[in-house]
């Protein structure tokens, strides 16, 4: 995994943290021939990591700042098997052919999951930070007939202080994996 500090960052544009990227990549079960859609690509951290393990990545974000940040990171890491599109996922999904999906953040998640089900996407991995969104997504996947697994990942970083060392925690992330039955 590329360290978070190596990525180009822009204020207000999120990035999936290194440890969360590692687990999410594992849940995608990538193959060198996979073509992956990254919805809500933010800074492009997942797009860069996925591109190193798959044939091609289509990245989408509805923020111009996110698109530019992701493009900067693709260039920085010499990624040539990825494109970044600006717009809403529900409007753009039909333009691409892919077999796996990573969702790092998006609006209209239920509509997007319905569109992905129509395309018979076999593996979808979704990262969430808001518990209510996790429940909504899990319920929607089950309604659509997917097998659903989820894990909540908490990461803490060590820091030296005068009297010893402490652990500083980051927000826990729920990683939901849906597999088509």
Q: Is the Cα dihedral 124, 66, 23, 57 positive or negative?
A: positive
| Residue 80 CB partners (closer than 8 Å, separation 6+) | none
Sequence ranges of the binding site for S-adenosyl-L-methionine: 16, 40-44, 61, 89
The whole-angstrom separation of Cα 131 and Cα 156 is: 19
The CA-CA-CA angle for residues 30, 104, 94, to 5°, reads 75
Burial of 125 (0-12, 13-18, 19+ CB in 10 A): buried
* DSSP label at residue 94: G
Sequence ranges of the binding site: 16, 40-44, 61, 89
Q: Kind of pairing, strands 35-39 and 56-61?
A: parallel
With tokens 């859609």, the residue in question is: 37
């Amino acid at each position: 995994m590329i360290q978070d500090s190596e990525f180009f960052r822009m204020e207000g544009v999120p990035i999936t943290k290194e440890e969360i990227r590692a687990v999410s990549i594992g849940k995608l079960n990538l193959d060198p021939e996979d073509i992956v859609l990254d919805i809500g690509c933010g800074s492009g951290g997942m797009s860069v990591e996925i591109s190193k393990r798959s044939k091609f990545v289509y990245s989408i974000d509805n923020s111009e700042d996110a698109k530019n940040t992701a493009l900067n990171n693709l260039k920085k890491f010499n990624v040539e098997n990825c494109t970044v599109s600006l717009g809403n996922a529900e409007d753009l999904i039909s333009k691409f052919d892919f077999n796996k999906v990573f969702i790092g953040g998006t609006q209209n998640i239920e509509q997007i999951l319905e569109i992905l089900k129509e395309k018979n996407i076999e593996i979808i991995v979704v990262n969430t930070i808001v518990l209510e969104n996790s429940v909504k997504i899990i319920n929607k996947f089950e309604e659509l007939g997917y097998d659903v697994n989820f894990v909540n990942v908490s990461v803490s970083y060590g820091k030296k202080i005068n009297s010893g060392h402490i652990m500083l925690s980051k927000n826990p992330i729920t990683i939901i994996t849906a597999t088509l039955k």
